[in-house]
C-alpha cells in the first residue's frame, strides 16, 4: 500500500512540474524571436545591447582596428564596439592589455574620436563582466573552456531573453502569459548601475562613472519616473522620447520662444549635460554620456561631487544636481561661473 501511495505521489509531482508555466522553459536564442517580432528585433540589433560581447566571427567584419601586433586570428571576442569603445579578448579569454609582444600599449579603441586608451595597462585581466554583457549568466565555470572567461552564458551580448526570460514556452504558445515583461526601474537597473541601486552615483576623475543611470535617477528630481517614460528599451538611448513638455509645458513654451530654443537647443542639452564618462572626455566638464540628474544648481560655488569614507576607504559620488560648468560653460566656453549664475536665473524667459 505504501509503495502504491509513493508511486501516486511521484506521478502527481511530475504532472505538477510539467504543468507549471515557465518552470521548464529553455532559452531559444534571439534569432528565434525575429520570426514574429521583426520590428523589435531590428531595433534591438541597432541598440548596442547585442554588441556588448561578440565572437570574433561576427566582430571581425565591423571595421574595428586592433591593438598593436594583433590580427583577428589572435582574438576570441570583442567587448562593445557599437557606440563608445571596444576592447579585445585573446584566445585564452583574457582582456588584451598590452601589445602582442608584451610591451606597453593602449588597447581600448574609442569610436567617437578614433583614439586609443590604456585599459588596466599590463595586467593579466580576466573577463568577468557578468551579468551585464551576456544573456543568462552563471558565475560558475569558464565559457568555451577558456580560463580567462569567468562564468558561462547561453548567448553573447544582451539578448531578448535576458529581459524577457527563457522563450521556449512562448514559442510553443505565444501569448502575454508566456513571456516576461518587466517595466520596473529595477529591471533596467540590473545593469545600469554599479554597486547597488542607491542614490549616490559613483564618480571618478571629475565625471560620473558610466552605466550609473539608475543611481543618477534616484539621486535627482525625477526619481519616481520610469525609464520607459522616455526610453523604448529596444532602441538606442539617443532615440529617447522628448517628454519634458508633458509635465513642464509652461517652461517648454518659454524655451522654444527664446534665443536658445531658436538655436535648436532642447531641455536635455542643459539638464542632461554629458557629465558622465564612458570612453573619452571632450573637456574637463564634458564626457560622452548624458547624465540623468536633471536639476541644475545655479550657485556658482556649488560642487557637484562629494567624497565619503567607509572602513578606511574613500570613494567619490555625484550629488543630486549638475553644476553650471557642466550645464552652461561647455557651450559658453569664454565665460565663467559668475556669468553663468547671473543668466541662469531667468534662463527660460
- Domain assignments of the chain as residue spans, ordered by start: 31-156, 188-344
Mean pLDDT across the chain? 92
Asked whether the CA dihedral 289, 294, 297, 298 is positive or negative, the reply is positive
Name the pLDDT band for 2 (thresholds 50, 70, 90). Answer: very low
The pLDDT of 45-69, averaged and rounded, is 96
% pLDDT > 90, the chain = 85
The answer on pLDDT for 328 being more than 60 is yes
Name the pLDDT band for 23 (thresholds 50, 70, 90). Answer: low
Q: For residue 315, with 0-12 CB atoms within 10 Å meaning exposed, 13-18 middle and 19 or more buried, which class applies? A: middle
The pLDDT of 13-35, averaged and rounded, is 70
Contact 78, 63 (CB under 8 A): no
Element (H, E) at 261: helix 259-262
Q: Using alpha carbons only, how large is the chain's radius of gyration in Å? A: 24
Count the Cβ atoms, other than its own, within 10 Å of residue 231: 17
Asked whether the CA dihedral 188, 190, 194, 200 is positive or negative, the reply is positive
For residue 86, give the C-alpha cell: 571596444
Place of cell 547597488: 196
The pLDDT of 196-225, averaged and rounded, is 94
Q: How far apart are CA 334 and CA 329, in angstroms?
A: 8
% pLDDT > 70, the chain = 93
User: Hey, what's the torsion of the CAs at 178, 184, 190, 193, to 10 degrees?
Assistant: 160
Name the pLDDT band for 24 (thresholds 50, 70, 90). Answer: low
The pLDDT of 250-260, averaged and rounded, is 88
Contact 87, 108 (CB under 8 A): yes
The pLDDT of 283-290, averaged and rounded, is 96
User: Any idea what the Cα angle at residue 254 is, between residues 250 and 255, rounded to 5°?
Assistant: 115
Per residue in 62-87, pLDDT (tens digit) is: 999 999 999 999 999 999 999 999 99
Note the pTM of the prediction, 2 decimals: 0.88
Amino acid at each position: 500500500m505504501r509503495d502504491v501511495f509513493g508511486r501516486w505521489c511521484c506521478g502527481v509531482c511530475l504532472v505538477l512540474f510539467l504543468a507549471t508555466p515557465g518552470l521548464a522553459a529553455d532559452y531559444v536564442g534571439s534569432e528565434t524571436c525575429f520570426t514574429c517580432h521583426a520590428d523589435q528585433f531590428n531595433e534591438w540589433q541597432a541598440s548596442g545591447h547585442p554588441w556588448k560581447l561578440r565572437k570574433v566571427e561576427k566582430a571581425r567584419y565591423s571595421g574595428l582596428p586592433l591593438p598593436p601586433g594583433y590580427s583577428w586570428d589572435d582574438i576570441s571576442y570583442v567587448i562593445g564596439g557599437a557606440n563608445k569603445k571596444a576592447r579585445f579578448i585573446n584566445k585564452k579569454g583574457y582582456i588584451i592589455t598590452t601589445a602582442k609582444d608584451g610591451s606597453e600599449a593602449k588597447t581600448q579603441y574609442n569610436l567617437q574620436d578614433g583614439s586609443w586608451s590604456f585599459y588596466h595597462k599590463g595586467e593579466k585581466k580576466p573577463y568577468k563582466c557578468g551579468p551585464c554583457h551576456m544573456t543568462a549568466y552563471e558565475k560558475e565555470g569558464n565559457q568555451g573552456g577558456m580560463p580567462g572567461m569567468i562564468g558561462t552564458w547561453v548567448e553573447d551580448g544582451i539578448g531578448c531573453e535576458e529581459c524577457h526570460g527563457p522563450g521556449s514556452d512562448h514559442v510553443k504558445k505565444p501569448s502575454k502569459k508566456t513571456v516576461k515583461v518587466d517595466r520596473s526601474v529595477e529591471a533596467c537597473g540590473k545593469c545600469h548601475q554599479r554597486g547597488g541601486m542607491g542614490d549616490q552615483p559613483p564618480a571618478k576623475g571629475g565625471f560620473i562613472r558610466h552605466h550609473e543611470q539608475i543611481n543618477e535617477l534616484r539621486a535627482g528630481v525625477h526619481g519616481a519616473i520610469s525609464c520607459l517614460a522616455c526610453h523604448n528599451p529596444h532602441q538606442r538611448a539617443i532615440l529617447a522620447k522628448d517628454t519634458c513638455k508633458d509635465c513642464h509645458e509652461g517652461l517648454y513654451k518659454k524655451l522654444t520662444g527664446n534665443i536658445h530654443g531658436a538655436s535648436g537647443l532642447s531641455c536635455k542639452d542643459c539638464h542632461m549635460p554629458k557629465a558622465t564618462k564612458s570612453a573619452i572626455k571632450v573637456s574637463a566638464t564634458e564626457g560622452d554620456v548624458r547624465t540623468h540628474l536633471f536639476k541644475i544648481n545655479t550657485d556658482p560655488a556649488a560642487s557637484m561631487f562629494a567624497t565619503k569614507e567607509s572602513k578606511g576607504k574613500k570613494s567619490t559620488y555625484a550629488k543630486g544636481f549638475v553644476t553650471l560648468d557642466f550645464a552652461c560653460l561647455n557651450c559658453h566656453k569664454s565665460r565663467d561661473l559668475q556669468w553663468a549664475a547671473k543668466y541662469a536665473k531667468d534662463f527660460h524667459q
